[in-house]
Amino acid sequence: MTSKEATNAFFCGLAASIVVCGPHWSANAAGQTQPDLTRIITEIAAHEDVVEHRRSKLKVTIPEFNVVWYEADWRYSEGREYVGGMRQSLMNAGQEGEAWIWQKYAYAFDGQVMHTYINDPRKPRDAGRISGLEPDGFVGCPTLNTLLGWGIHMSGRLSVSQGLSQAESLRLHDVTDLIDGHQCYVIDAQGVGKGEMRFDVRVWIDPERDYRILKIEHYISDPEARWKRLYRRVDNIKLQEVNGAWMPVSGEFHAFNAVEEPEEGLTVEEVLAMGPEEGRKHTRWRLEPIVPTRVIEIDPESIVFGKEIPVEEFRVNWPVGTDIWDDFLQVAYKIGAGGDKGGVDAFLQKQAAESIGDVVPPATADAGIAPKGKQSAPPAGADAPAETRRTQRLWVIVLMFGALATSLIALLICILARARK
């Protein structure tokens, strides 16, 4: 769904949301009249569409460790995404021999299938994985999309306008907020997402510069602790005009764990004795950083948008010798010359099953989420990668020969049995 389609669908329920959440019009700090939410979201969607089919080069640093975390090429088009280059991983953290090492990596999603690739200098061969979309991989790699607000949903696959359109309710703050000398509209969106991981999202929108975000905060959607359980924040976003459009060129990513604790002077036991309703009145929320701050830097000269990107650019060209684990078929194999697999190898299958964590996207691994089991194959008619189609044909042949061999053995048993009689 495009931003325009999402916006049109959103308008159907917008009036009711505004009636619940606040007036159509309000005055900002300067006494000026603010437009309603319909107008703001229309503008956000229009400017998102201008920068569709985008790519850039980027660098992510961790100032606390004084290291470059990622250097990558990145591109995005209509739900497809690719990020790949070099990254540093901390080995033996807190132990003797602690060191940062460089790895070559790539995460690619072509709209149907996701490829994950890791070149670890400590391992004898490269590792790859074929699976369905695992959005955490892209969320864990801050990119230009992160600074554009495309992390508004837990999966990170929705634009700001699309994310707002899915919220249960919206509220436009009565006054604007000043960020770096720019007056911003502030919008609260409650209930974004599905299932257990639902967000309440607060966004700061700069109407003078293509309605880009200058700050976004995600809170765990908890009715009993509304706007208290901050989960992540992207802020300090700097914009620069690129080819007629305002684009983010730097920003910071933060992730938190919100811990509820008794007010000063009270113990946990005393608060619990008050009961849930009264006890909540005597607690406070303390934020603990989950990871050190990530600083995202985009090379302005590398930003290109508005030009369609071939689907082939959202796939990994597996190097010869790469060990592949296929989630759809639950088999492992090695890439041979010309990109062909070198045949199913029982040892490789066991090895891949034991070391599957090596090719799980970093955000998933950091979160302690185990790799998914066997996944459903892409929808019928999907443009599956060539290596997947070859694997499927191989297994059909194997099964055919297996059935034939079984039939021959059964026939032989019958002949021997009659001969004995």
Q: Is the pLDDT of residue 201 over 60?
A: yes
Q: Of 327, 154, 351, whose CA–CA distance to 255 is shortest?
A: 154
- Give the pLDDT confidence score for residue 381 in this predicted structure: 34
pLDDT for res 236 = 97
pLDDT tens per residue, range 156-183: 568 899 889 889 999 999 999 999 999 9
- Condensed to tens digits (0 to 9), the pLDDT of residues 45-60 reads 999 999 999 999 999 9
Sorting pLDDT into bands at 50, 70 and 90, what band is 380?
very low
H-helix or E-strand spanning residue 192: strand 182-192
Q: What is the pLDDT of residue 98?
A: 78
Q: What torsion, rounded to 10 degrees, do the Cα atoms 273, 274, 276, 280 define?
A: -120
Q: Identity (one letter) of the amino acid at 97?
A: G
pLDDT in tens, 293-311: 999 999 999 999 999 999 9
Specify the pLDDT at position 249.
98
Helices first, then strands: H and E counts in the chain = 10, 19
Pick one of 3.40.50, 1.10.287, 3.20.14, 2.50.20 as the CATH number of 3-250+293-302: 2.50.20
Q: Is the pLDDT of residue 291 over 50?
A: yes
Pairing of strands 80-91, 67-77: antiparallel
pLDDT band at 188 (very low <50, low <70, confident <90, very high): very high
Which pLDDT value is given to residue 197? 72
Phi, psi of 273 (to 5 degrees): -65, -20
Residue 396 has pLDDT above 50, yes or no: no
CA distance 312 to 315: 6
Instruction: Report helix angle 3-21 to 37-50, nearest 10.
Output: 160
Provide mean pLDDT across the span 234-250.
97
**DSSP 8-state class, residue 155:** T
Tokens encoding 147 = 């600074």
- Two structure tokens written together for 224: 């009993």
At 352 the pLDDT is 52
Sorted by where each begins, the domain ranges of the chain are: 3-250+293-302, 386-421
Task: Read off the pLDDT band of 383 (50, 70, 90).
Answer: very low
> Per-residue pLDDT tens for 74-88?
999 988 999 999 998
Q: Which amino acid is at 258?
A: A
**For the residues of 294-362, what is the DSSP string, one character each?**
EEEEE-GGG-B-SS---GGGGS--PPTT-EEEETTTTEEEEE-GGG-EEEE-HHHHHHHHHTGGGGS-H
